[in-house]
Structure 1
Amino acid sequence: MTKNSAIERNPVRPTTKSVETRARIIRGALDALETHGIGEVTTRKIAANAKVRLATLHYHFDSKETLLLAVLEDLNASMLARYQEELRNSDDFETHVAELIRSIWRYVERTPEQQFVQLELTLYALRTKGSEWLAAKQYDAYIDVYKRLIVEGRGTQDPALERIGLALGRFILGGIDGLILQSFALRDAADTQAGLEALIVAARDYLRHLLDS
């Protein structure tokens, strides 16, 4: 069975109890990752943290990787909901992109432990043979979130706009990742703010280039 077929297969009937149990396992996994880090987290520890039997965990998730993917999907859903809640679309495309970047950074500052988890999961996936797909899945999901927020409210399904959203989403994600590492390493708020404003300027310039090309 391939990884993708394992992800798509869902043997659990969607009863209220099973949905609640699955959600509790995901929360338990996130709590364990935030507290201990990926290196010390096992499915047994996650089950104990979620207060379920190990067999119950494996009934819902057939591997550690599929559980980690569920954690990432849950984080992305929460992230998207928060952005949509606080982001106000502007008729001016450049202003909209600038406000999106500031909204992203506010979320980063509010959720430092989750940022550590996401960074650790990326490295874990890249360093674990057979789990590289998880890192690709993770980054595709981030880029899709950014793309959706970039084109949201533009009032068109123009393929050219989708292309712009995808390219700019990749660009913004790369800049935000760099700022996260710099912020955590140097702990210099003024330097981080300067870097954020530089990213906004660069994103606006890149947007103009994409619109003209």
Structure 2
Amino acid sequence: MARVSADVRRELLIEAAIRVMARDGVARTTTRAIVGEADMRLGAFHYCFRSKAELLEQVIRAITTHTLEPALVALGKDGTLEERLLGGLRGYWDHVVKYPEEHRVTYELTQYAVREPDLADVARKQYEIYLEANTTILDTVAASTGIAWSAPVPVLARSMAAMIDGMTLLYLNEGDAETAWAALELGMRHLLAQAEPAPVA
């Protein structure tokens, strides 16, 4: 392939890894398959990543970014608090429905990592990344709409993670997108009940 910067090469390898994992499964994904998908030499992988664990963490961050970006766009639009939150959730959900195998990779990664001693931190970091994303959403919407959360943000971030993660996994195995979305809407309305006017300084 043409000469590109190390950062670009790294991003290409991450996206190639996602495609290979979605196609072949996490356990069967090899370094050679990833560099082949990216049209690179094997040495490029070792130049860009210190370990397989580092690659897997970056794969999780990339998939989270794929879904967080459209959510943040929706959150930044004009509208009520409810419209913004549901719009952000819809952005996430549309990605799940359009790219189900990419999301299936995240669940495979969790189970694969917890059974591999060298990857023990990957599953923990995976959910730290999810909580960071949820915290970003909660803080962003509070700042832009002038509300405060009656429950601590770390608690709400975990509640969101459980709701979204569980419903995504249910959909991936059940396939009923319409009912799953209705359940997510219901969960988001429970979250909205925790919003109150921000105190005046």
TM-score bracket for this pair, using the shorter chain length: 0.7 to 0.9
Aligned residue identity for 1:67: L
- Contact 1:100-1:150 at 8 Å conserved across structures: no
Q: Which residue of 1 aligns with 2:185?
A: 197
The answer for unaligned runs of 5 or more in structure 1 is: 1-14
Aligned residue identity for 1:105: W
| Deviation of the 1:38 alpha carbon | 0.4
- Contact 1:89-1:153 at 8 Å conserved across structures: no
Please give the alpha-carbon distance, in whole angstroms, between the structure 1 residues aligned to 2:141 and 2:170.
32
2:56 counterpart of 1:68: yes
- Contact 2:70-2:92 at 8 Å conserved across structures: no
Q: Which residue of 1 aligns with 2:116?
A: 128
List per-residue Cα deviations over 1:113-170 (Å, max 9, x = no partner): 21011111111112212312111111111111111111214339xxx86x73322121
Please give the alpha-carbon distance, in whole angstroms, between the structure 1 residues aligned to 2:40 and 2:47.
11
| Deviation of the 1:204 alpha carbon | 2.9
Name the CA shift for 1:172/1:69 in 2 (closer, same or farther; >3 Å): same
| Deviation of the 1:61 alpha carbon | 1.0
For residues 149-164 of structure 1, the aligned pairs below 5 Å read: 149-155=137-143, 164=152
Name the CA shift for 1:169/1:23 in 2 (closer, same or farther; >3 Å): same
Among 178, 193, 198, which residue is 2:166 paired with? 178
RMSD: 2.8
- Contact 2:71-2:90 at 8 Å conserved across structures: no
Q: Which residue of 2 aligns with 1:116?
A: 104
TM-score between both structures, scaled by the size of structure 1? 0.77
2:92 counterpart of 1:104: yes
| Greater alpha carbon shift after TM alignment, 165-174 vs 73-82 | 73-82
Identity %: 27
List per-residue Cα deviations over 1:51-72 (Å, max 9, x = no partner): 2121221111122111111222
